Amino acid sequence: MFPNKKVQELVGSKIRIEMKGKKYVLEGILKSADDYLNLHVANTVELLDGEKSRALGSVIIRGNNIVLINPVN
Amino acid sequence: MFPNKKVQELVGSKIRIEMKGKKYVLEGILKSADDYLNLHVANTVELLDGEKSRALGSVIIRGNNIVLINPVN
Amino acid sequence: MFPNKKVQELVGSKIRIEMKGKKYVLEGILKSADDYLNLHVANTVELLDGEKSRALGSVIIRGNNIVLINPVN
Amino acid sequence: MFPNKKVQELVGSKIRIEMKGKKYVLEGILKSADDYLNLHVANTVELLDGEKSRALGSVIIRGNNIVLINPVN
Amino acid sequence: MFPNKKVQELVGSKIRIEMKGKKYVLEGILKSADDYLNLHVANTVELLDGEKSRALGSVIIRGNNIVLINPVN
Amino acid sequence: MFPNKKVQELVGSKIRIEMKGKKYVLEGILKSADDYLNLHVANTVELLDGEKSRALGSVIIRGNNIVLINPVN
């Protein structure tokens, strides 16, 4: 299964996203994703050293600035 | 709804944009967006530590340098 | 009007360009722009803390390294 | 053999991935790769100074933020 | 004239190239350019604080890491 | 000759690759290259201040993170 399909599988579930730049680790519910890995994420929170630091709500994330995505169990 | 359509939905309303690099957090009225998330934003202000630091007016923003976009209620 | 068309509208007028990396703020007359926001700018000057620091003349700017563009009145 | 085909050859085996930014060196089993070098990697661990620092499990990695990939024997 | 055509015009003449990251300012004779602004440059020298610091000879430069190009008279 | 063809010419010979970020200067035998300048390089060594610092063997390099490529004579 190609990486973009793997991301599609995660729609509806909680994901963790590491962005370029040290400060951005985000968690939220994946609402949609396209082939560029642009993401729409709901209930998004920013984590700092593993602690919730900001509630961002509904955000759109630009795929090229994503380092990695993983499911949160 | 794909992420780019989600952004289209925000045309006409106030958005907050976090850019690559620490200094750029922008707020303004989204006038238009294309599929690369290039944006035309009016009444743009730059925020520094949550405070308005510069009035930029009408700006065009290159999509690939956007980290995330969220609506401002 | 899509962001790239908004940039086309600015051809012939003075623009201000913020580039990735702190040191680059450029001003000049926009001569041409393509859909990637690659720009040809004439009479370009680099600004440092709002002061003219270097005269660069005619330059071609790679669109992906542009953070934002705004008109200078 | 083109670079993307060379990566396809590594599906099923252990790879090491150096990402943009100093902190990211990842190792895991390559599950799939597309032509943009987006990767799906299982059993992923992050290495810091050559030591395992975090277990990340199943991750999707955005190709444009990869510096280099090499097989681990 | 579109920016990529403006670069084509410079083939055969001396150009100055500012790259992403502070250390790279390059000068050399532009041999060829494509629409992504990938460049083949001959007799390339790297400049540090305006002084020649390294002779690099024939180099291929990746367009997306170019900030700006200008002609050297 | 376009830049990507110039790189094709180097297949089979030793090249030096400067990557984004200070630490990466790589040397090795170019095995293949595609139009995005993704490279497959064999017998790769990383250089630090001109000294061999790590043997990386066979690596795939993502083109967009390459700053410049030059032949090693």
Cβ(B54)–Cβ(B28) under 8 Å?
A: no
Amino acid at B8: Q
Three state DSSP letters for A7-69: HHHCCCCEEEEEECCCCCEEEEEEEEECCCCCEEEEEEEEEECCEEEEEEEEEEECHHHEEEE
The whole-number pLDDT of residue A59 equals: 97
Find how far residue A37's CA is from the centre of its chain: 9
Which residues, including other chains, have CB under 8 Å from residue C59's CB and lie 6 or more apart?
A: C26, C28, C40, C41, C44, E68, E69, E70
The candidate with the shortest Cα–Cα distance to B66, out of A13, B10, E19, is B10
Closest-CA distance of chain E to residue F68, Å: 4
DSSP track, chain F: --HHHHHHHTTTSEEEEEESSTT-EEEEEEEEE-TT--EEEEEEEEEETTEEEEEEEEEEE-GGGEEEEEE--
Contact yes or no for C21 and E63 at CB 8 A = no
Cβ(D15)–Cβ(D2) under 8 Å?
A: no
Contact yes or no for B1 and A33 at CB 8 A = no
The token pair at F16 is 């030096």
Residue B45 phi/psi, 5-degree rounding, is: -125, 145
Closest-CA distance of chain F to residue E60, Å: 5
Amino acid at F5: K
Contact yes or no for A1 and D32 at CB 8 A = yes
The token pair at D42 is 């299982």
Cα–Cα distance, B19 to B60 (Å, whole number): 13
Residue among C31, C32, C60 whose CB faces E68 most closely: C60
The whole-number pLDDT of residue F24 equals: 84
Interface test with E, best of F5, F17, F18, F20 (most E CBs within 10 A): F18
The residue count for chain A: 73
Q: With a cut of 70, list the residues of chain E below it in pLDDT.
A: 22-23
Contacts of B40 in chain C (CB under 8 A): 1-3, 6
Contact yes or no for F34 and D7 at CB 8 A = no
The token pair at B57 is 């007016």
- Give the three-class secondary structure for D8: helix
Contacts of A58 in chain B (CB under 8 A): 70-71
Tell me the pLDDT band of C22, cut-offs 50, 70 and 90.
low
The whole-number pLDDT of residue D41 equals: 98
> What would the pLDDT profile of D15-30 be if each residue is shown by its tens digit?
999 998 766 899 999 9
Containing H/E element for D40? Answer: strand D39-48
Cα–Cα distance, F37 to F3 (Å, whole number): 9
Could you tell me the domains of chain E?
3-71 (2.30.30.100)
> What would the pLDDT profile of F23-66 be if each residue is shown by its tens digit?
689 999 999 999 999 999 999 999 988 889 899 999 999 999 99
Please name the residue of chain A whose CA is at the shortest distance from the CA of residue B10: A60
Cα–Cα distance, F40 to D18 (Å, whole number): 15
Contact yes or no for C68 and B58 at CB 8 A = no
Q: Is the pTM of this model over 0.80?
A: yes
The whole-number pLDDT of residue E22 equals: 65
Contacts of B58 in chain C (CB under 8 A): 70-71
> How does DSSP classify residue D4?
H
Please name the residue of chain C whose CA is at the shortest distance from the CA of residue B35: C2
The whole-number pLDDT of residue D22 equals: 65
Closest-CA distance of chain B to residue A41, Å: 9
Q: Beta-carbon neighbour count of residue F73 at 10 Å?
A: 6
> What would the pLDDT profile of B9-18 be if each residue is shown by its tens digit?
999 999 999 9
> How does DSSP classify residue C1?
-
Residue D42 phi/psi, 5-degree rounding, is: -105, 160
Contact yes or no for E40 and F3 at CB 8 A = yes
Residue A31 phi/psi, 5-degree rounding, is: -95, -40
Contact yes or no for A68 and D62 at CB 8 A = yes
Strand partners of residue E24: none
Contact yes or no for F20 and E21 at CB 8 A = yes
Closest-CA distance of chain F to residue D66, Å: 6
The candidate with the shortest Cα–Cα distance to C4, out of C43, C24, C42, C30, is C30
Cα–Cα distance, D54 to A6 (Å, whole number): 22
Contacts of B39 in chain C (CB under 8 A): 3
Please name the residue of chain A whose CA is at the shortest distance from the CA of residue B1: A32
The complex's ipTM works out to: 0.93
Is the per-residue pLDDT at B37 higher than 70?
Answer: yes
> What would the pLDDT profile of A6-55 be if each residue is shown by its tens digit?
999 999 999 999 998 766 899 999 999 999 999 999 999 999 888 898 99
The candidate with the shortest Cα–Cα distance to C12, out of C38, C35, C30, C26, is C30
> What would the pLDDT profile of D22-73 be if each residue is shown by its tens digit?
668 999 999 999 999 999 999 999 998 888 989 999 999 999 999 999 999 8
Contact yes or no for B70 and A61 at CB 8 A = no
Chains with 3 or more CB pairs closer than 8 angstroms to D? A, F
